[in-house]
Structure formats: structure tokens, C-alpha cells
Structure 1
Amino acid sequence: MGAINLKMLLESQSLERAPFPVPVGWYFIDYSENLKPGELRNIFVFGQEWVLFRSESGKPGVTDPYCPHLGAHMGHGGKVCGEHLRCPFHHWEYDTEGNCKAIPYAKVMPPITKKGPILRALPTVEKYGMIWSWYHPACEEPSFELPYVPEIEDATGYTGSRRGSWSANTCIQEIAENGVDVAHLKFLHNAPIIPPVEATYNGPTMRINIGQGYIVGDSYGPGLNVMRFTQKDPVTGKAITATMLSYTVPVSHDKSQMNMSFRHVDFPAGTPELAFTKKQIDHMIGAAEGEESAGFESVDFIVWNNKRYRPNPLLCDGDGPIFPFRKWFKQFYVEKPKLDDASA
């Protein structure tokens, strides 16, 4: 028996499933169609509860649930009044930016209400037919914007209503790391080869190119990935691209909700191109008919739900660029501010 490396042999006893806070970024909250004007409900994301509401004119808001006045939960008995969220306890009203706009019995509004928001409200926009909120533990404004994605924003040319949502008992970084871990495609997904991969980084964005154009993925922070799969249709000989939008949400620091939309060129009904691109999408998710390789739904959750994060993994020459990916992802981790009397 060789020399004993206790650090390597015993490290697993101290490993955590997710030793990270919730990362900074834009995140999917819900589909626009699911929130009607005047509606409010409670949601749980980013490790806490929030109130999601839509004003009467249609503007969405996501706020901390506890009223700054006396701490009543505005998601239980609260109401949307015009453009404001109204607390059930004393009817204080807040706009979608967290500003106190009305206190029905106050002759003089507290001076702090004139300086800025007093209720935490997440910057929230609607894009791609979805509601998105910006999360930052220190309440900083967005440092980048969501991109233009023609497949889901253009009025014509593309179609596809297929969606999916899956829970994973791990952090969002572990899920995203799969993109550069190309070796697992052969051994977990039964792909015929380990494809080459290139990854490039530019601020909050990352582009991966797997298999020299077979999969090209663009990440915009932790919360949005646009993956384009291009294959040659054996019937027509044409190169056809299908698109997967992946928008995972951190429910907490160690639980993630994966959400996906699938889009493709609006080929005419009954054409071989349409049949092929639908098979492409089947392949992304599970196992397409007549294929031995498996999509993420079939195999990845077995790993994600039971693994622990190794901060010092033992890698070999066949592994993908895991360390550069982790270095890029690290920028999205920000410690929560330490509050004292001076900042109150």
C-alpha cells in the first residue's frame, strides 16, 4: 500500500452540497400569462418568501413580504390598489419600487419615505413573455441587461410552446457546470464520443462551443442560458438548429428549479424538417426514439440530487475547462452586507 493522503481520503466528510450563497443575476419568476392585473401571491425564491403582484395598469412587482411599519405580511390579506401594494394592517401603500406612496391616516409622512424606497423591491421586467427579477444581496441595481433572443422575441419565423420545469437538490452553479464538463456526455449520457469544447468569457457572459458548432450556448449571468443545437437532417441534408432556453432559479442556496422553453424554425406541417427538429428537442430532454443517448431528464438528476461539491476536484487531461468556468462564476457571489446602527 502506498503513502496515505489523508486530505484526499477524508475530505468527503467535510464536503457540502452547496457551499455558496445565492448568486447575483436576473432570474425567471413566472410566465407573464400567469399573473393578471390586480393579482398578488406569495412566492419562495432566493432563500426567502416574497410577494409577487401586478398593478392595475399591468406593471409587475416583487417585494419583501413584511411591511416596514409594523411587520405585517402583505401576502396574507394585502391587496393591489391601483398601482400600489396595500398592507392589510394599516393600509400603508407601496409601489413596485418599494416607495411608500400613501399612509391614509398620517398628516405628515415619515421623512425617510421621501428619501427613497423603504420596502425591499427587486428590479423587475417582462421579457420573452416572462417576468424576471434582479437579485443582489446588497440591493444593488442591475449591472447587465437581459439579451435579445430572436427565437422567442421575433413575431414570425419561430415557433414552439413546449416547456418544462424540474427541481434539483443542488445549487445553480453545479447545474451550469455541466456545460463545460463534456466528459460526462459520453459516460453518463451515452454519447458516442467526448466532444471538444471551447469556452470564452466576457464579463457576465460566457459562450461555449461543444463539438465544433454542434451545441453553441450563451450564458447571461447564472439565470439565463440560450443553447442552440445544430445537426444535419439525414433526409434533406440541411443543417437545422433547435433552441433551448434554460432559466434556472435558485429556490435557496442548495435547491434549484430548472425551467426550459424549446423553440425551432416554423417549418411547414408534415415536412421532414419539422419532424427532425422535433426529434432534436426530444433528444435534449430525454431519449429520442431510435437513439441510445439520453437527455438530462433521464440521467443528470440522479447525480445532481446526490452529489456534493468538491472545491478541489481531482481532474485529468480529458476533463473540460472546469476551473476557468468556476473562476468566471465566482464573480456572481457577493456577501450579504453587515448592518449596523449607522446604516439603519
Structure 2
Amino acid sequence: MGTIDLKQLLESQTLERCPFPIPVGWYFIDYADTLKAGEMRNVFVFDQEWVLFRTESGKPGMTDPYCPHLGAHLGHGGKVCGEHIRCPFHHWEYDTEGWCKNIPYAKLMPPIAKKQAILRALPMVEKYGMMWAWYHPQCEPPSFELPYIPELEDATGYTGSRRGSWTADTCIQEIAENGPDVAHLKFLHGAPIIPPVQTTYEGPVMKLDIGQGYIQGTSYGPGLNVMRFNQHGITATMISYSVPISKEKTQMNMSFRHVDYAEGTPELAASKKVIDHMIGAAEGEESAGFESVDFIVWNNKKYRPNPLLCDGDGPVLQFRKWFKQFYPGYENSTKI
């Protein structure tokens, strides 16, 4: 027997479940109709607590919870005053960009407060009936915009109120890696074949084609993925908008839409069946959607930065190379 590769055999002792920081991107925070003008609440995402609020004119804001003055928590006793969030302790006020706009008893503002925002605030937009926040670890501004999604934005032509939310005990990259990993569709999900897959990458956008047009997906950074399932003469759409709760916990959120076919038509029935299949096990079908099988893997696996891959695997390494751009400062890391 020749010498054995101990590094290969012992690597699992040093593996981590999630060796990643929170990646850069636009992320879903909540549905727009859950936050009225003048309301505020505390939310936990991106590995920390934040204060989410809506100004009296309707603009959403999301800031660090601790006042730059003496550290009082803005989300416990704080208040929305006009276009600002006000600290309960000494009534310092901040706008949705984190600039201090009022200190009621000060003759002179601290010099830094005249030059820059002093409270970390995340850029926010409202789109698709949802509130989105831009996360960057060094507080850099957004480097790309959220796309136009006709299924969610067009006034007519599409329907479907079905949506769901699931918590996975893993990082957002591991969930996204399922896209190019087509081999698992046969062995974990029970699909009849391993479908061919093609991926293309351009900046923060990844396009995925599974089964030569059978499933076509587009990812816009880590936090938004639009998957169109073209089957049985219809197209049904899954819009996925996951958000990192922490480095090891991800909230998966999805909306399901389809063309507004007339009641009783075979196209409507086919659309609904395809959506059933995306999520779980549709009636009369052997293969299963993510809800049935993926969580047992996600919740228990560890990340192998040097995976042993074979010729039948999908473009996993190309995907990982693309995803690295969302971890600024980690370009040369061997852990990820």
C-alpha cells in the first residue's frame, strides 16, 4: 500500500459549517404593507439587530439600534417624528440616511455630524410590494439595482397570492449553490434524469438554464432569484428572496406567480401543479421539491472549500468563483 493522502482523510476535522461573512447585496426585509407611516419595530438580520421604521411621509428607514450619543436603543422608547427617528434618551433625531438632523438642546452640533451620517443606516427601496435593504460590510452604496420583474410589477396578466417562508440552518451561499448543482436533482429529489445545465455570469447577475429551457433562472446578487419553469405549455414563476439572519441561519422567502389563465382551463391546472411541485411533492409525481428533502442536507452539512468533484457535477466551482465577489476582502481566502 502506497502513502495515503492524510490531508484528504483528515480535512473534515477542520471544516466549518459556514465560514462566510454576510454577503453584499439587496435583501428583502418585509412586505411593504406590514409597516405603516409613523411605525417602527426591531428586526434581526445580517447578524445583528436593527430598527426598521417608516417616516410620516411614508419613506422606510433601517438603522443601527444604538444612538451615537450615549448608546440608548432607538427601538425601545424611540419615536418617529416627521421624517426622523428620535432617540428616547435625549431626543437626538436622525433621518433615513443616518444624518443627525436635530439636537434640541445643542448650540453647536459635533463637527463630524456636519460632515457625514453618524448613525449607520442601510439604503432602502420599496419594490414588488416589499421593503429591500442594501447590505455592505463597509457601508458602501449600492453597486447594482433591483430588476424589473413583470410577474410582480405588471398590473395585469399575472396572478397568484401563494407565498411561503422557511428557515434553513445554513448560510445563503449554500442554498444558492443548489442551482448549478443539478446532479442532486436526481439523487436527492428523485428526478428521472440529471438535466444538462448552463450558467453565464455578468457582474452581479448569474443566469441558469436547466434542461435546455425547462427551468430558466436569474440571480441578482445573493438576495434575489427569479426562476421560470417552462413545462406543459405554460410558464410558472418562483421568485426567491432569501435573507441572512446570521452567518449560520437563512430565512428563505418565496412568491409563486403564473399567467392569469381563465378558471377551469388546463393551463391554470398545469400552472398550479407546477407550483405545487416546486415546493414539495405534487400529487402523482415521484420527485420532490425543496421543502421535502433539501433541509435535511442544509441543516446538517459542512462546507468543503476543496470539494472532490467528478465529471457529472454541475458548474459548482464557477458558481463559487462568481459568488466570491459578494465578500469584499476575501478574494484570496482559501476557506471560501
TM-score w.r.t. length of structure 2 = 0.97
* Residues in 2 aligned to 1:5 and 1:111: alpha-carbon distance in whole angstroms: 60
Show the counterpart of 1:302: 296
User: Deviations for 1:291-313, whole angstroms, at most 9, x for unmatched residues?
Assistant: 01000000000000000000000
* Residues in 1 aligned to 2:265 and 2:321: alpha-carbon distance in whole angstroms: 45
Q: Secondary structure at the match of 2:245?
A: strand
Letter in 2 for 1:244: M
Query: Is it true that 1:130 corresponds to 2:124 in the alignment?
Result: no
Query: Is it true that 1:46 corresponds to 2:40 in the alignment?
Result: no
Query: Is it true that 1:262 corresponds to 2:256 in the alignment?
Result: yes
Show the counterpart of 1:31: 31
Contact in 2 for aligned 1:137/1:335 (Cα 8 Å): no
* Residues in 2 aligned to 1:108 and 1:329: alpha-carbon distance in whole angstroms: 46
Query: How many residues are matched?
Result: 330
Letter in 2 for 1:328: W
- Deviation of 1:2 after TM superposition, in Å, equals 5.7
User: Deviations for 1:18-66, whole angstroms, at most 9, x for unmatched residues?
Assistant: 1010000000000001111111010010110000000011000010000
- Deviation of 1:270 after TM superposition, in Å, equals 1.5
Letter in 2 for 1:287: A
- Deviation of 1:8 after TM superposition, in Å, equals 1.1
- In the TM superposition, structure 1's runs of 4+ consecutive aligned residues that sit over 3 Å from their partners are none
* Residues in 2 aligned to 1:332 and 1:2: alpha-carbon distance in whole angstroms: 42
Query: Is it true that 1:319 corresponds to 2:313 in the alignment?
Result: yes
* Residues in 2 aligned to 1:57 and 1:30: alpha-carbon distance in whole angstroms: 19
User: Deviations for 1:137-167, whole angstroms, at most 9, x for unmatched residues?
Assistant: 0000000000000000000000111111111
- Which of 243, 251, 254 pairs up with 2:237? 243
* Residues in 2 aligned to 1:266 and 1:300: alpha-carbon distance in whole angstroms: 30
Show the counterpart of 2:80: 80
Where do 1:109-128 residues align within 5 Å? 109-128=109-128
Show the counterpart of 2:333: none
Show the counterpart of 2:334: none
* Residues in 2 aligned to 1:57 and 1:138: alpha-carbon distance in whole angstroms: 29
- Deviation of 1:109 after TM superposition, in Å, equals 1.8
Structure 1 unaligned spans of 5+? 233-238, 337-344
- Deviation of 1:136 after TM superposition, in Å, equals 0.3
User: Deviations for 1:180-222, whole angstroms, at most 9, x for unmatched residues?
Assistant: 0000000000000000000000000000000000100000000
Contact in 2 for aligned 1:287/1:298 (Cα 8 Å): yes
Show the counterpart of 2:101: 101
Show the counterpart of 1:158: 158
* Residues in 1 aligned to 2:301 and 2:295: alpha-carbon distance in whole angstroms: 10
Contact in 2 for aligned 1:186/1:192 (Cα 8 Å): yes
Letter in 2 for 1:107: K
Q: Secondary structure at the match of 1:201?
A: strand
Q: Secondary structure at the match of 2:277?
A: helix
Show the counterpart of 1:341: none
Show the counterpart of 1:184: 184
Letter in 1 for 2:231: Q
* Residues in 2 aligned to 1:57 and 1:268: alpha-carbon distance in whole angstroms: 39
- Which of 320, 323, 332 pairs up with 1:329? 323
- Deviation of 1:277 after TM superposition, in Å, equals 0.2
Query: Is it true that 1:62 corresponds to 2:62 in the alignment?
Result: yes
Show the counterpart of 1:252: 246
* Residues in 2 aligned to 1:87 and 1:31: alpha-carbon distance in whole angstroms: 25
Letter in 2 for 1:306: N
* Residues in 2 aligned to 1:241 and 1:157: alpha-carbon distance in whole angstroms: 12
- Deviation of 1:71 after TM superposition, in Å, equals 0.5
Deviates more, 1:16-25 or 1:102-111: 102-111
Show the counterpart of 1:210: 210
